[in-house]
Amino acid sequence: MKKIGIIAKPQSTGIRKVIEGLTLWLTEHGCEVFMDTDTAAILEARSPYKKPNIPSLVEMIIVLGGDGTLLSVARLVEGKNVPILGVNAGGLGFLSEVTLEELYQTLEKVFNNEFSMEERLLLKAQIFRQGELVAQSFALNDVVVSKGTLAKMIKLEIYVNSQFVTALRGDGVILATPTGSTAYSLSAGGPILHPSVDALILTPICPHTLTNRPIVIPDRVKIEVILKSKDEGVMATFDGQVGFTLRQEDVVEIGASETKTKLIHSPAINYYEVLRRKLKWGEE
């Protein structure tokens, strides 16, 4: 890997110094570095490359930030077969598991082919209005259909492979990947799935009927969520970052993308260690 992209979260504390050191290290190791305009601006420099152009130019992208930054990059690399190395310069960091202290040690392993790479399931969501495709997006964590700012329940009909599942009344529903099982779905009472499990989680949000519980379903299905209520402000959101306002009878169709997101991580770190560290399991 000689062409390396760097995409950073501008608000991260001390990020300029990190980017300067990383760029110097990569250059000394014979790599060509590509930054998007926002990352270059942190160094008070200019770059001709907008963020969506970076995946087409590089063989690997180093993401400096939190999980939110990595999620946005995961949508950019869809279909590009470019692996991502997430470096935690932000908050909790389930996805950006490599710390700044481990960065150069991990890069040494990557360049020596002493690393492992995980393929993570990616969701593809399409929104149909009167049979016409009006919006689509990808999501590494989840697709959420939820009510607006008014404290009113919404009504949804949910189908899996055209088979009726439930008419759900509540605040909405979360369709989560195994990667997203530790995000919003977990807060709503959903289970944690290991990233290697080929499944999706359908998690109701504050259902009116308390027996509406999360359900794990195969990943190779087509899920349809139909908005039946007339309430304004209902949204479909993708990884909590991109949103689309829904109307009555809109259909949100969700399924696994044909491609998966590739995440690089150090072999010294395993998933259970990440869970223990991030969720503080076993602490007294």
Q: Which of 67, 142, 171, 239 is catalytic?
A: 67
CB 127 within 8 A of CB 183: no
Residues 6+ apart with CB under 8 A from 72: 239, 241
CB 187 within 8 A of CB 218: no
**Residue 19 to residue 16: CA distance in whole angstroms:** 5
Task: Give the phi and the psi of residue 35 in degrees, each rounded to 5.
Answer: -120, 150
Task: Give the phi and the psi of residue 275 in degrees, each rounded to 5.
Answer: -60, -45
> Is 67 annotated in the active site?
yes
H-state helical runs in the chain: 15-28, 37-42, 67-76, 103-111, 184-187, 271-279
| Of 240, 249, 168, the residue nearest 206 (C-alpha) | 168
Look at strands 84-88 and 60-65 and give their pairing: parallel
Q: Which residues are catalytic?
A: 67
